Amino acid sequence: MKDQWIMGIETSCDETAVAIIKNGREIAANVVASQIESHKRFGGVVPEIASRHHVEQITLVLEEALEKAGITYSDLSAIAVTEGPGLVGALLIGVNAAKAVAFAHDIPLVGVHHIAGHIYANRLVEEMEFPLLSLVVSGGHTELVYMEEHGHFEVIGETRDDAAGEAYDKVARTLNLPYPGGPHIDRLAHEGNPSIQLPRAWLEEGSYDFSFSGLKSAVINAVHNAEQRGEKIVPEDLAASFQESVIDVLVTKTERAVEEYQVKQLLLAGGVAANKGLRAALEKKFGNKADIELIIPPLSLCTDNAAMIAAAGSVLFEKGQFASLDLNANPGLDI
């Protein structure tokens, strides 16, 4: 049988990424041009700058991916692109590049939801088995997603305010750590003791929703109160206490959902999936259970990349779910 080659394009935020996946699960190329250095001095992603970088990078990244995979456009079975959610100006660069390639080379186009992509990063590690539950924790999303089959996503819980990654980044800023702050807090947390009392938002009984803004505010208040008293807070201890609170809520709610939904697999997805503390806590809870398989992607597939978009696109391609050439960027796209 002829090999299936899917190209993925991801430009929803601050990474210009192109990847090529062979037969649904094999990474032939995975190129990511990060813009983090350009946004760092602003303490967060500046949409205008992001769009400009995507325009400058996209052609180079497309060519590099093809070269790495050792194929040409004519070998591609389909081209998959993140259509949303994300920054509209950033998304548009990827969507227009994908449409241009699809039109010029007469290749089917597939639109992918960014979070579906994060979830499908797991299929590059292990074949999916349904029903499954995915804990999605990124800079813009915190969700528990239940899946009974490919391409169908049921959000059983989501954040009511800040996403987990957003809380990490804001806490990091309070501690004067560079953007993105998640990895810095993670590192500090391992050097500290979780000795500071911080809240945990469990919400109503039975709810799978999350809330991190109260926790974020409690951290900011703890820093300000210490400053006012002329005391110095130990950043390592604050990071450890914050991280413990986040992980406690994430893991406890996930465990309850795993039991209620009787899933065969638990998948971890999104940038915060790179967190060492969270990975270890999930391994400890689910790693040795016979009735559930825990899948955690390698770090490079947790943060934004296009291999995950191609992996999700491969499934949509097989289902015949193509997009037309009037596909548009949709910054508020629902999963």
Work out how close the CB of 45 gets to ligand KG4 at its nearest, in angstroms, rounded to a whole number.
9
3-state secondary structure (DSSP) of residue 148: coil
When the beta carbons of 287 and 298 are compared against Zn ion, the nearer one is 298
Q: Indicate which single residue of 7, 13, 97, 307 sits in contact with ligand KG4 (rule: CB under 6 A).
A: 13
> Which of the residues 142 through 161 are near ligand KG4 (CB under 6 A)?
none
Least distance CB 60 / ligand KG4 (angstroms): 21
Sole binder of ligand KG4 in the list 24, 235, 271, 297 (CB under 6 A): 271
Shortest Å, Cβ 189 to ligand KG4: 9
Q: Which residue has the tokens 């270890």?
A: 280
Which pairs from 174-177 meet CB under 8 Å and 24+ separation?
174/219, 174/220, 174/223, 175/223, 175/235, 175/238, 175/239
Between CA 306 and CA 171 the distance in angstroms is: 28
Q: How far is the CB of 331 from ligand KG4 (least distance, A)?
A: 13
User: Which range in 26-34, 76-84, 154-162, 265-273 contacts ligand KG4 by CB under 6 A?
Assistant: 265-273
The nearer residue to ligand KG4, 102 or 172, going by C-beta atoms, is: 172
> Of residues 89, 111, 194, 270, which one binds ligand KG4 by CB under 6 A?
270
Q: Find out whether 118 is annotated in a ligand binding site.
A: yes
- Binding site partner of 183, from ligand KG4, Zn ion, none, Cβ cut-off 5-8 A by kind: ligand KG4
Is position 84 an interface residue for ligand KG4 (rule: CB under 6 A)?
Answer: no
Among 24, 108, 183, 297, binds ligand KG4 (CB under 6 A): 183
**DSSP-assigned letter for residue 258:** H
- Type of residue at 291: D
- Quickly list DSSP for 67-116: HHHT--GGG-SEEEEEEESS-HHHHHHHHHHHHHHHHHHT--EEEEEHHH
- Say whether 151 sits in a helix, a strand or coil: coil
* Contact in structure between 294 and 266 (CB atoms under 8 Å): yes
By the rule CB under 6 A, 180 interacts with ligand KG4: yes
Q: Are strands 15-22 and 154-158 parallel, antiparallel or unpaired?
A: unpaired
182 binding partner (options Zn ion, ligand KG4, none; Cβ < 5 to 8 Å by kind): ligand KG4
C-alpha to C-alpha distance for 117 and 240, rounded to whole angstroms: 30
Could you say whether residue 111 binds ligand KG4 (CB under 6 A)?
A: no
Q: Is the dihedral of CA 222, 224, 227, 233 positive or negative?
A: positive
Q: Residue 297, interface with ligand KG4 (CB under 6 A)?
A: no
Residues that bind ligand KG4 (CB under 6 A): 13, 138-140, 165, 168-169, 180-183, 186, 270-272, 274-275, 303-304
